[in-house]
Amino acid sequence: MRNKCTVHIVDDDQAVRNSLRSLLEAAAYQVKVYPDGHSFLRDFDPTEFDCVLLDIDMPGLNGLEVQERMLHIHNDLPILFVTANGDLPVAVKAIAAGAFDCIEKPYRGGAILKKVRDALASVEERIPIGTDRPHFRTSLNASTKPDWDAPEEMKQECQRVH
């Protein structure tokens, strides 16, 4: 059974999009994929309370530029940045600008699922008491093995800023 949470994947690498889509659909999430920031922003619905996995380094609009445009729309959609280059200053900048977290490629499936679940839980915490959002409760039951495979230096810096 699918839950109602949608995870948006924005990455210029088709293999990454396909891999993340398969992983998240197997965990019963609805998934929307976008090959670039422009197509994501074109379809972006600021009323959604879900989550986005956003590549930092993309042609056209990079992930930080997409994040900035999302913030101008006043959206609380949690952003999980995915980066292949392990660029610590860029990851710190993304988190300082409001990203939920950052994940370094190559990633482990359990790390992605845990971060998505945590990001959705953070949204649930911000929803006013009495608001009925049952799909968040469903999504939080996804089974994941907690793990985090980013370099220790990046984890410490992200925690310091976050």
Residue 133's pLDDT is what? 42
Say if 122 falls within a structural domain. Answer: yes
CA distances in angstroms from 37 to 34, 43, 110, 153, listed in the order given: 7, 10, 25, 28
SS3 89: helix
Say if 54 falls within a structural domain. Answer: yes
Q: Considering its fold, how many domains does the chain have in total?
A: 1
Enumerate the β-bridge partners of residue 34: 10
Element (H, E) at 63: helix 63-72
Decide which of 85 and 20 is more confident. 20
Q: What is the pTM of this model?
A: 0.74
Mean pLDDT confidence for 133-153: 38
Reported as a single tens digit per residue, the pLDDT across 30-62 is 999 999 999 999 988 777 668 999 999 899 999
Residue 24's pLDDT is what? 95
Say if 131 falls within a structural domain. Answer: yes
In angstroms, how far apart are the furthest CA atoms of the chain? 42
pLDDT tops 90 at residue 149: no
Say if 1 falls within a structural domain. Answer: no
Residue 84's pLDDT is what? 77
The type of residue at 36 is D
Task: List, as one string, the DSSP characters of 7-40.
Answer: EEEE-S-HHHHHHHHHHHHHTT-EEEEESSHHHH
Say if 133 falls within a structural domain. Answer: yes
Please state at what angle helix 63-72 crosses helix 88-96, rounded to 10 degrees.
10
Reported as a single tens digit per residue, the pLDDT across 4-26 is 788 999 999 999 999 999 999 99
Say if 25 falls within a structural domain. Answer: yes
CATH number of residue 117's parent domain: 3.40.50.2300
Say if 99 falls within a structural domain. Answer: yes
Decide which of 138 and 110 is more confident. 110
Which structural domain, as residue segments, surrounds residue 101? 6-161
